[in-house]
Chains A and B, each alone.
Chain A
Amino acid sequence: MFTTRASKAVSFGLLVAIAAIAPSQDEKAQRYLFRSLAGDYRTNIVAVLKQRIANENGSKLVKIQRSMDGKTKESVLSPLHLQGEFLDDGKELKFYSPDDRLLIVQPNNPAAQDYKFRLPLIQKNYNIRLEPGRKVLGRNCVVVTAESKYPKVSDIRYSFDEKTGFPLSKEIIHSDKTVDLDYEVSDIKFPGKLDPSIFRIEPVVGVEVVNYAEQCVNRPSEAAQALGFVPLIPTRFPYGFQIQRMTISDKNKVKMLCLKLTDGLQRITIYEWVPAPGETITTGEDREIKLHNGLKIVAVADIDSGIRDSVLHTFIVRAEGDGPALITRIGI
C-alpha cells in the first residue's frame, strides 16, 4: 500500500516537474519558428526547393547551398529565363544575372534582416500554434501555423525539419481558407563539407558591376535633409506593420526614400521620390490618386493586394493633411 502511494506521489511529482520544465506546445512552435528566422540550423545544407512564381502559372526550382556559418548561395535552376545567382558571403550580398551581364553588389548589413526586431512583432501580430506533425521527403516535420490576429491577413503554415529546424515547406492559408503552397523542398542533403568556391561569384569580362551602399536615417528630419524634399512618413500603419528601416538611395541621380515595413513575417517596401517632368516609370500598375508636391509613392510587396493597398492608404491619409500626392502601385 505504502509502496503504491509512494510511487504515485513520485510519478505525480515527476509529471509536475516535467510540466514545469518542458515547454508547452506553443512554445515549441515558437522555438522552431524563431530558430528558422535566425537561420540557426547548425549544419551545412544543400536543398532544392520548388517555389511558385507569383502571378504566373508555374514554379521555379531554386537550389540553396548554406554553410554552417551562414554563408548562402541561391541559384535559380529553372526556368531558364529566370536564371540568376544570389550570394551572401558574410561580407557582401551579390546578385549575378547572366542574361543581363550584370552583377549587383551591396554590403551585407545584418541589421537589415534583424530577426530580433521581428520576434516581438510576431508575438504581437500572430498566434503561433503547433499542428499535428507530418513527413516531407520522409523526414519528420514540426508543423507550425502563424495565425494572424487580423482576419484579413493570411495565415502561414510551416513544416520544419524536426532535426535541423530547416523549413521544408511553407503554405499560405488565405482568409477564405483556400491554401496556396508557397514552396516545398524537393531534395535536401546535409553534407559534412562544402567547397569554399561555392561561396564566390567572380564577374567575367564584359559583366557590368553595380555597387550599392546604403545610407540609414533614423528621423524624418534627417531623411528630409538628405533627400532635399519632405517625405511622407505615417506614424501608424494597419495590420500591425511597423517601420523596420529607413534608408536613402545612394545613387544621387534620383534621391529616393526607402521604408522597409514588416509585421514580423511579411514585408512591404515603400519608396518615395520626386519624379522628373515627363518621367514615365512603368513599374507595374500606375494609378494617380493625388498630387502632392509631385511626390511619387510606390509599394512593393509579396502579400495580398488588399493589405498592400491599405498600407498605401495610410500615406494618402497622411498626405491629405498637407496636399495631394501621386500614388503608384506595383502588382506582384
Chain B
Amino acid sequence: MSFQTDRQRVSGLGSAKDGTHEWIGHRISAIALVPLVILFVVPLALSLGGDFEDVRHVYAHPFNAIVGILFFITVSLHLKHGLQEVIVDYIHGKKKLVLALLANTAFSAILGVTGVFSIAKIAFGG
C-alpha cells in the first residue's frame, strides 16, 4: 500500500516526461509564423529562378531581410519543438531518445543559424 495519490503516481510518466513550457512555446512560434510564412514565401516564389544580383537585391532590402531573419529564427524553434514531439512519441529507449533529441537540437540550430547568417551576409553587403 502506497501513500502516494494516483495523481502523484502517474505525474511525469508520459512519453515526454514534462513539457508545458514547450507546449506553450510551440504555440507562440506557431502564431508568429502565420504572418511570417506568407511574408517569406511570396518574395521567395518571385525570386526562384531569378538572376543572382537581382535576387541578392531583393534580400538586401531591409523589409525582406528582417522578415527573412525573423522567419528563420522562428521556424527553427518551431521545427525543433515539432520534431521533438514526434521523437518523444516514437523513439523508445533512453539512449536512443537522448541521441535523437541531441541530433534534433543540432539540426534545428544549424538550419536556423545558416539561414540567419546567409540573409545577414547578403543584407550587410558581403
Question: Do A and B belong to a common assembly?
Answer: no
Give chain A's interface residues, CB within 8 Å of chain B.
none
